[in-house]
Structure 1
Amino acid sequence: MGTPLGDFIRAKRDSIQPESVGLPTHGRRRSPGLRRLDLAARAGISVEYLTRMEQGRDRNPSVAVVNALADALSLDPEERNHLRYLAKITGGECSVHTQPAPPRRQVRPSVLETLRLLEPGIAVVTNRLGDVLAHTSSYESVMSGAGLLDADAPNLTRYVFTDPRARTFFADWDDVADQQAFDLWLGPTVGSSEWFTAELAPVAGPDFTGRLNRHVVPQRGALRLNHPSGRELRLAREMLELPSDAQQLVVFLPADEQTAQAVDQLRSRPRGRLRAIS
């Protein structure tokens, strides 16, 4: 049985074209990308050791080996962080953890006060599972009619993969789906991520599980929305991590004048107040 670490290494190895790292392309190759022999040589480790890692039979690589693999795979900074995280949860440090369980949903009063100060901005507090924990009234205005906030306990990941409206609402649905699946690896705890994944996989199907196991670090550009009102919105995103809470505060900013005007019109509609969801 493999491990997330082994799956990621194998996926990155398969995605690299030999010529891109200066290796010849002639000769017979039984699989796409780099051969284990190629990667092991670049990382300075044995093929046997690399095979054990990819197959999940070696779960405790040293920091030096992890860094050597990152160099050999030409990983960018975000991919390097993901590789280190997978090594951490695969190895002994996180091999024993509490039973899968949902994460805490409370938002600290000081974070709620920060949201109030951000009004009339578009802002939301979430965790990496996609739980929408609190938001400004302007966030509700922008999301109105899309269906995300209809649930008693809204969850962006569940919405993206199970609500047909999401595929229309998010102009770049594939990119958003990649982001939400990837963020589950960074969930509040290993246990809560496992709990949520087990709950979502049966209803979301292979479109979800395939993305989760691909380990593709997503690019996070402007968020493009096809609002139910007929407006097209482009929103830049700024994220403030709240590590002690395993949450993040996300602020959305109009990326162009057309979006700014559309957001002003949406704000002018009757709406509620700052909402904390528990």
Structure 2
Amino acid sequence: MSNGTPLGDFLRARREALKPHDVGLPEYGRRRVPGLRREEVALLAGVSSDYYIRLEQGRENSPSPQVLEAVAQALKLDAETADHLNRLCLTVSQRPRDRGESGVSRKLLQLMDGWEHTPAFVVGPALDIMAANSLATALHSGFAQFDNLARMVFVDPAGRDFYQEWERAAHSCVAEIRAAYGHDPASARIADVVAELSAHSEEFAALWQTHEVKSKSQEGKHLKHPQVGDLHIEFAAFTVNGAPHQQLVVYQAEPAGATAAAFETLRAMAAGPEQNGPEQAGAEQAGAEQAGAAGPVAGLAGDQ
């Protein structure tokens, strides 16, 4: 994903995103580098230029919490991005050991299947769809595959119409994968997804290099389904107990509103003879597991 170190790449991207006037520094003449100079960040953080250069070059492996806090303040990082900075400095032994792609629990599948009026699905760190109930599958039926949210946004042509606020969805996808990367920089699955999407979407590749970090928000979404039209939804995301690498995403509609009526239409479609009824979420998980052997993003050439 890079020729540098995770920490160095992050610091360089965040430094280049700032202008001198953003941090109260004068700006004279033509600058040879985008954003701030390394020496300027060092000055703002109260460390030597040599020390900061070692950080960006990956030659300083154990910066103190005080130094990281000072650098975060110098780079104007918000709390979530500052936490990401700290995670990038963790050693392998300091990282959680439970980031593997374990399956979705049977109890959670049964819970999702019981929500007949509510689309719900589970995503992994790379935004792979790990399981979904029948209404969530019907909601995303306009896509070639309901397999990975980032692929659906950036590569599937349906994404531009489905996500009415496409740019916001695009930024959210990349920032969420970047946040997951901070928890597990060695993740082979994240590396595969980033490589595939970068190869097939210049927009994804450019956004990935900004190193923006943001977990799933609780903001509303404006979607457009090819059969039932405009949908205005609220959603919530929950970390799954016992599986911190999984997030349960739940979409909701205002009661008795147009979106709720559209959900009912989708529910009727999902309950047709081609569906298998209450076992749909389990079936979706089984299909995802079969596809997982090659990776849900395989075959790309052929906020979600």
TM-score of the superposed pair, with normalisation by structure 2: 0.76
Deviation at 1:210, TM superposition (A): 2.6
Aligned to 1:120: 117
Deviation at 1:174, TM superposition (A): 2.8
Aligned to 1:82: 84
- Asked if the contact 1:59/1:92 (under 8 Å) is kept, the reply is no
- Asked if the contact 2:174/2:207 (under 8 Å) is kept, the reply is yes
Aligned to 2:159: 166
The alignment status of 1:108 with 2:114, answered yes or no, reads no
Q: 1:214 aligns with which of 207, 210, 216?
A: 210
Aligned to 2:141: 144
CA offsets 1:156-200 (integer angstroms, 9 cap, x no match)? 223333322222222223332333233334158533335523662
- Asked if the contact 2:15/2:41 (under 8 Å) is kept, the reply is yes
Cα distance in 1 for residues equivalent to 2:39 and 2:62 = 21
Deviation at 1:238, TM superposition (A): 0.7
Aligned to 1:60: 62
Cα distance in 2 for residues equivalent to 1:162 and 1:255 = 30
Cα distance in 2 for residues equivalent to 1:250 and 1:270 = 19
- Asked if the contact 2:175/2:213 (under 8 Å) is kept, the reply is yes
Deviation at 1:125, TM superposition (A): 0.9
The alignment status of 1:71 with 2:73, answered yes or no, reads yes
Go from structure 1 to structure 2 and tell me whether the alpha carbon gap of 1:244 and 1:84 turns closer, same or farther (over 3 Å shift).
farther
Q: 2:193 aligns with which of 194, 197, 203?
A: 197
Cα distance in 1 for residues equivalent to 2:92 and 2:42 = 23
Question: Amino acid of the residue matched to residue 169 of structure 1?
Answer: F
68-77 or 209-218, which deviates more: 209-218
Go from structure 1 to structure 2 and tell me whether the alpha carbon gap of 1:4 and 1:202 turns closer, same or farther (over 3 Å shift).
same
- Does the residue aligned with 1:148 lie in a helix, a strand or coil? coil
Q: 2:171 aligns with which of 165, 178, 193?
A: 178
Deviation at 1:105, TM superposition (A): 5.0
Aligned to 1:9: 11
- Does the residue aligned with 2:31 lie in a helix, a strand or coil? coil
Cα distance in 1 for residues equivalent to 2:264 and 2:16 = 47
Go from structure 1 to structure 2 and tell me whether the alpha carbon gap of 1:202 and 1:78 turns closer, same or farther (over 3 Å shift).
closer
- Computed over aligned residues only, the root mean square deviation of the Cα atoms, in angstroms, reads 2.9
Q: 1:133 aligns with which of 130, 133, 151?
A: 130
Go from structure 1 to structure 2 and tell me whether the alpha carbon gap of 1:164 and 1:110 turns closer, same or farther (over 3 Å shift).
same
Aligned to 1:252: 251
TM-score of the superposed pair, with normalisation by structure 1: 0.82
Query: Which aligned pairs between 1:206-245 and structure 2 lie closer than 5 A?
Result: 206-218=202-214, 220=217, 221-229=219-227, 231-242=229-240, 244-245=242-243
Question: Amino acid of the residue matched to residue 209 of structure 1?
Answer: A
CA offsets 1:130-156 (integer angstroms, 9 cap, x no match)? 22121222212211223333xxxx222
- Asked if the contact 2:46/2:70 (under 8 Å) is kept, the reply is yes
- Asked if the contact 2:81/2:213 (under 8 Å) is kept, the reply is yes
- Asked if the contact 1:240/1:249 (under 8 Å) is kept, the reply is yes
Deviation at 1:231, TM superposition (A): 0.8
Question: Amino acid of the residue matched to residue 232 of structure 1?
Answer: D
Go from structure 1 to structure 2 and tell me whether the alpha carbon gap of 1:261 and 1:198 turns closer, same or farther (over 3 Å shift).
closer
- Does the residue aligned with 2:269 lie in a helix, a strand or coil? coil
Identity in percent: 32
Cα distance in 2 for residues equivalent to 1:180 and 1:269 = 28
Aligned to 2:40: 38
Cα distance in 1 for residues equivalent to 2:16 and 2:170 = 22
CA offsets 1:64-102 (integer angstroms, 9 cap, x no match)? 2211111111211221122222223xx56479x9xxxx9
Deviation at 1:201, TM superposition (A): 4.5
